[in-house]
C-alpha cells in the first residue's frame, strides 16, 4: 500500500509589513473530449512557477487495464480500454501583500461518512486579526485500498461518485500570531453502475475510501473578512436513447450571483461540495463528462457545475446539487485575476501506473 503523508508543512511566505507575492485557485474544471467517465484522479494546482493538472477517468481514458486478481470473473470485472483526452481550465488569483501568509498540505481519507484532519499552517512573522484560508491545490485520488481489504475490483480504475466534498473549517490564528490551525473535512461516496460487466465494482462501492489532498493558503488579516455561501442545483432529463441523449446546456451565470464587498479582494474557495443524483432511490453513481467550479468578482457570478452528456455511452438522466463557500479578505494591493484553458490533455500514466502531471509555466 502506498504511504500517504498526512501533514506536510511547506515554506511559509509573508510577514506582516513585508510585501510578498501569493497565488491561489479561483476555479478549475475539465471536460472529456470523447465520452463521460468515472473519476479516478483529479489534480489542479497553482504553483510558484505555473499550473499543474491531471485528469484520469479509468481504463476508458488511459487504455490501461491492470491484471485482474486471481480467481475473479473477467465477465463481471471487464473494462473498455480506450484513449481519451480532456480540456482543463484553471483560474487563479495573484497579488502582492504585506499580510502574514503561509501554506501547507494535508490529506483527509474521505468516506461516505466523512473524514477529517487537523492542519497547522506556519506563518512567517506575527500575524494580526483574523484567520482566513483558501485552496491553492486539490487532488482526488481513488488509488487506495478498499475498507474491507482487497477484492476483485481495483480502485485505481475509479468510481462513479454520488458525493465529493472538501471543506476548510474554523480557521484560528494562534495566540502568538505565528500559525493558523484549520480542520480539513472530506467526503466521498461511490454509487452503483448497474452494468453487468462491472458487477465486481458494484459489489464493493460501500468500501470506497478516497484520499483528498489539499494545499491551503492561510492569511492573517486585521482588515475585513467575509464568507459567501453558495447553493444551487440542476437536473437534465434523459431521452432513453443513449445514442441520441438530450443536450445539457450550461446554466445561466446571471442566476448564480456573487457580490463581494471590495473591488480588490483576496478571494478563494474554502468549501466545495457536489452531490450527484441524490434523489435516486437505487443509489446510482454518476459518469461525468464535465465538472467545474469558479467565480468572477468583476462579472459577479460564482458557480459549481457538472454534466454527463455523452452520445453513445450515456445511460441515464443526470442531476447535481452544489454547495460551496468563498472566503474573501480585503486586500492591500492590486489584484490579478487570470485563467487558462488547455486542450487535448492526455490521460497519461507512468511506468508505475501513476498519473502523469502536466505543467504549464506562467506566461
Mean pLDDT of the chain: 93
Residue 326: burial class (beta carbons within 10 Å; 0-12, 13-18, 19+):
buried
Instruction: Count up the domains in the chain and report the number.
Output: 1
Q: Is the residue at 362 inside a domain?
A: no
pLDDT for position 362: 80
360 in a structural domain: no
Residue 337 belongs to some domain of the structure: yes
Residue burial 56-93, b: 16+ Cβ < 10 Å; e: rest: bbbbbbbebbeebeeeeeeebbbbeebebbbbbbbbbb
The residues, ordered by sequence, that sit 6+ positions from 351 with a Cβ below 8 Å of its Cβ are: none
Would you say residue 221 lies in a domain?
A: yes
pLDDT value of position 363: 67
Q: Residue 154 pLDDT more than 80?
A: yes
Question: What's the pLDDT at 17?
Answer: 55
Which of 14-23, 92-101, 142-151, 293-302 has the least mean pLDDT? 14-23
Is residue 181, in this structure, part of any structural domain at all?
Answer: yes
Distances (CA, A) of 203 to 75, 127, 158, 277: 14, 51, 14, 20
Please measure the distance between the N-terminal and C-terminal CA atoms of the chain and give it in whole angstroms.
39
Domain membership flag for residue 40 = yes
pLDDT (mean) for 135-141: 98
Q: Indicate whether 358 belongs to any domain.
A: no
3-state class (DSSP) for residue 196: helix
Q: Is 359 among the domain residues?
A: no
Q: Is the predicted pLDDT of residue 116 greater than 80, yes or no?
A: yes
Which helix H or strand E contains 220, and what residues bound it? strand 210-221
Instruction: Read off the pLDDT of residues 183-199 as tens digits, 9 standing for 90 and up.
Output: 999 999 999 999 999 99
Q: Kindly report, residue by residue over 42-84, the tens digit of the pLDDT.
A: 999 999 889 999 999 999 999 999 999 999 999 999 999 999 9
Q: Give the residue numbers spanning the domain of 105.
A: 7-351
Amino acid at each position: 500500500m502506498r504511504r500517504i503523508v498526512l501533514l506536510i508543512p511547506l515554506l511559509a511566505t509573508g510577514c506582516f509589513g513585508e510585501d510578498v507575492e501569493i497565488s491561489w485557485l479561483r476555479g478549475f474544471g475539465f471536460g472529456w473530449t470523447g465520452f463521460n467517465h468515472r473519476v479516478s484522479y483529479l489534480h489542479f494546482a497553482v504553483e510558484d512557477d505555473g499550473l499543474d493538472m491531471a485528469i484520469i477517468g479509468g481504463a476508458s481514458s488511459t487504455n490501461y487495464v491492470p491484471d485482474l486478481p486471481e480467481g475473479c470473473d473477467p465477465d463481471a470485472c471487464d473494462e473498455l480500454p480506450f484513449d481519451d483526452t480532456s480540456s482543463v481550465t484553471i483560474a487563479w488569483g495573484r497579488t502582492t501583500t504585506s499580510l502574514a501568509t503561509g501554506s501547507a498540505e494535508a490529506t483527509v481519507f474521505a468516506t461516505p461518512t466523512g473524514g477529517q484532519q487537523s492542519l497547522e499552517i506556519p506563518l512567517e512573522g506575527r500575524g494580526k486579526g483574523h484567520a482566513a484560508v483558501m485552496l491553492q491545490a486539490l487532488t482526488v485520488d481513488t488509488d487506495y485500498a478498499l475498507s474491507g481489504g482487497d477484492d476483485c475490483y481495483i480502485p485505481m480504475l475509479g468510481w462513479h461518485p454520488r458525493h465529493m466534498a472538501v471543506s476548510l473549517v474554523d480557521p484560528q490564528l494562534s495566540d502568538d500570531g505565528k500559525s493558523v490551525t484549520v480542520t480539513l473535512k472530506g467526503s466521498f461516496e461511490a454509487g452503483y453502475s448497474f452494468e453487468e460487466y462491472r458487477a465486481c465494482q458494484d459489489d464493493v462501492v460501500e468500501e470506497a475510501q478516497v484520499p483528498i489532498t489539499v494545499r491551503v493558503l492561510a492569511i492573517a488579516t486585521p482588515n475585513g473578512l467575509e464568507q459567501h455561501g453558495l447553493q444551487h442545483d440542476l437536473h437534465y432529463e434523459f431521452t432513453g436513447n443513449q445514442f441520441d441523449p438530450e443536450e445539457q446546456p450550461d446554466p445561466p451565470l446571471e442566476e448564480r450571483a456573487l457580490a463581494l464587498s471590495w473591488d480588490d479582494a483576496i478571494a478563494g474557495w474554502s468549501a466545495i461540495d457536489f452531490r450527484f443524483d441524490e434523489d435516486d432511490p437505487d443509489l446510482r453513481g454518476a459518469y461525468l463528462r464535465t465538472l467545474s467550479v469558479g467565480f468572477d468578482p468583476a462579472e459577479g457570478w460564482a458557480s459549481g457545475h457538472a454534466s454527463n452528456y455523452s452520445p453513445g455511452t450515456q445511460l441515464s438522466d443526470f442531476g447535481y446539487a452544489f454547495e460551496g463557500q468563498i472566503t474573501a479578505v480585503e486586500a492591500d494591493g492590486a489584484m490579478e485575476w487570470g485563467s487558462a484553458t488547455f486542450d487535448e490533455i492526455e490521460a497519461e500514466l507512468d511506468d508505475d501506473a501513476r498519473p502523469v502531471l502536466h505543467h504549464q509555466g506562467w506566461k
